[in-house]
Structure 1
Amino acid sequence: MIKKPSAHLDHHLDSDLAKSINGLRTRWPDYSAHVVLTRLQRAALLGSALLLVPPLVWWTIGTLRVLIAAITVLYAGAIIFRIALVWAASRDEHRTRVSDEDARAVPDHELPVYTVLVPAYREPQVIGPLMDHIAALEYPVQKLDVKLLLEADDHETIAAALAVLPSPHVEIVAVPVAHPRTKPKACNYGLQSARGELVTIYDAEDRPEPLQLRRAAVAFSRLDPAYVCLQAELGYFNSDQNRITRWFTLDYATWFRSLLPGLVALGMPIPLGGTSNHFRMRTLRSLGAWDPFNVTEDADLGIRLARLGGRVGVLDSVTLEEANSDFINWIKQRSRWYKGYLQTWLVHSRSPWATARQLNWRGLLCLNLFVGGTPITALLNAVFWAMTVLWFLATPPVIEALFIAPFYYVGLVCLVFGNATVIYLNVLTVRQIERPDLLATALLSPLYWVMMSIAGAKAALQLIFNPSYWEKTTHGLHLPRVHNSLSTAHVD
Structure 2
Amino acid sequence: MAGSEQRSAGTARITLTRSQAIAIGVFSTLSLAGACLLPRLASFYLISAQVGFLALAIWRLSLIVVQAKAPRPNPPGSWSHDEWPHYTIVAALYHEAQILPHLVERLDEIDYPRDRLQGFLALEADDHATIAAASQLSLPDWLSVLVVPPGAPKTKPRALNYALARATGDFLTIYDAEDAPDPLQLKEAAMKFRDEGDSLACVQAPLRIRSRQKNSPHPLLDRQFAAEYAALFEITLPAMVQLGLPFPLGGTSNHFRVSVLKALGGWDAWNVTEDADLGFRIWRSGLRLSVISRPTYETPPGPVRLWLPQRTRWLKGYLQTLAVHTRWTEGMGWRGWAALILTIGAGLGSAAVHAGCMAWVAVVCLMSAMDRQLPSLSIMGWTVLIVGVAAAWITKHRGARIAGTPYGPLDMAASLPYWFLLSLAFMHAAVRLALEPHRWDKTPHQDDVEPISVPDPYPDAGRAAA
2:396 pairs with 1:410: no
Partner of 1:399: none
2:158 pairs with 1:169: no
Alignment of 1:55-134 (within 5 A): 55-59=34-38, 61-93=39-71, 96-99=73-76, 102=77, 105-134=78-107
- In 2, Cα distance between equivalents of 1:170 and 1:264: 33
Task: Give the partner amino acid of 2:267.
Answer: W
- In 2, Cα distance between equivalents of 1:338 and 1:141: 38
2:187 pairs with 1:214: yes
* CA displacement at 1:116 relative to structure 2: 0.4
* CA displacement at 1:25 relative to structure 2: 9.0
Partner of 1:50: 29
- In 2, Cα distance between equivalents of 1:180 and 1:25: 22
- 3-state SS, counterpart of residue 88 of structure 2: strand
2:176 pairs with 1:187: no
- In 2, Cα distance between equivalents of 1:275 and 1:434: 20
Aligned length: 438
TM-score (normalizing by structure 1): 0.83
Is the Cα contact below 8 Å between 2:58 and 2:391 reproduced in 1? no
Please, which moves more after superposition, 151-160 or 79-88? 79-88
- In 1, Cα distance between equivalents of 2:259 and 2:5: 19
Partner of 1:236: 209
* CA displacement at 1:36 relative to structure 2: 1.3
Is the Cα contact below 8 Å between 1:430 and 1:438 reproduced in 2? no
Is the Cα contact below 8 Å between 1:112 and 1:196 reproduced in 2? yes
Task: Give the partner amino acid of 1:251.
Answer: E
- In angstroms, what is the RMSD of aligned CA positions? 2.4
Partner of 1:292: 269
- In 1, Cα distance between equivalents of 2:360 and 2:70: 40
Task: Give the partner amino acid of 2:244.
Answer: G
Is the Cα contact below 8 Å between 1:244 and 1:324 reproduced in 2? no
Instruction: Identify if the C-alpha distance between structure 1 residues 134 and 349 changes in structure 2 by more than 3 Å, giving closer, same or farther.
Output: same
- 3-state SS, counterpart of residue 24 of structure 2: helix
- In 2, Cα distance between equivalents of 1:54 and 1:243: 42
- In 2, Cα distance between equivalents of 1:26 and 1:47: 24
2:6 pairs with 1:30: no
Instruction: Identify if the C-alpha distance between structure 1 residues 435 and 137 changes in structure 2 by more than 3 Å, giving closer, same or farther.
Output: closer
- In 1, Cα distance between equivalents of 2:37 and 2:412: 46
- In 1, Cα distance between equivalents of 2:85 and 2:14: 38
Instruction: Identify if the C-alpha distance between structure 1 residues 261 and 198 changes in structure 2 by more than 3 Å, giving closer, same or farther.
Output: same
Instruction: Identify if the C-alpha distance between structure 1 residues 359 and 477 changes in structure 2 by more than 3 Å, giving closer, same or farther.
Output: same
Query: Unaligned stretches of 5+ in structure 1?
Result: 1-23, 397-402, 481-492
Identity %, equivalent residues: 34
* CA displacement at 1:96 relative to structure 2: 4.7
- 3-state SS, counterpart of residue 119 of structure 2: strand
Is the Cα contact below 8 Å between 1:115 and 1:195 reproduced in 2? yes
* CA displacement at 1:364 relative to structure 2: 1.4
Is the Cα contact below 8 Å between 1:239 and 1:246 reproduced in 2? no
TM-score (normalizing by structure 2): 0.88
* CA displacement at 1:57 relative to structure 2: 4.8
2:466 pairs with 1:466: no
* CA displacement at 1:128 relative to structure 2: 1.0
Partner of 2:231: 254
- In 1, Cα distance between equivalents of 2:209 and 2:140: 28
> C-alpha offsets along residues 468-487 of structure 1, whole Å, 9 cap, x if unaligned?
1111122217379xxxxxxx
Please, which moves more after superposition, 61-70 or 107-116? 61-70
* CA displacement at 1:261 relative to structure 2: 0.5
> C-alpha offsets along residues 231-264 of structure 1, whole Å, 9 cap, x if unaligned?
1111122267412111212111111110000111
Instruction: Identify if the C-alpha distance between structure 1 residues 466 and 25 changes in structure 2 by more than 3 Å, giving closer, same or farther.
Output: farther
2:254 pairs with 1:277: yes
Of the three residues 405, 418, 423, the one matched with 2:393 is: 423
Please, which moves more after superposition, 286-295 or 76-85? 76-85
- 3-state SS, counterpart of residue 232 of structure 2: helix
Is the Cα contact below 8 Å between 1:334 and 1:455 reproduced in 2? yes
Of the three residues 18, 22, 32, the one matched with 1:39 is: 18
- In 2, Cα distance between equivalents of 1:264 and 1:147: 30
- 3-state SS, counterpart of residue 52 of structure 2: helix
- In 2, Cα distance between equivalents of 1:452 and 1:53: 25
Partner of 1:245: 222
Instruction: Identify if the C-alpha distance between structure 1 residues 234 and 479 changes in structure 2 by more than 3 Å, giving closer, same or farther.
Output: closer
Is the Cα contact below 8 Å between 1:122 and 1:156 reproduced in 2? yes
Partner of 1:145: 118
Is the Cα contact below 8 Å between 2:247 and 2:343 reproduced in 1? no
- In 2, Cα distance between equivalents of 1:244 and 1:58: 43
- In 1, Cα distance between equivalents of 2:419 and 2:74: 33
Partner of 1:478: 448
> C-alpha offsets along residues 355-411 of structure 1, whole Å, 9 cap, x if unaligned?
5xx333232122112211212211111111122122222369xxxxxx9x9xx4333
Is the Cα contact below 8 Å between 1:199 and 1:281 reproduced in 2? yes
Partner of 2:347: 374
Partner of 1:156: 129
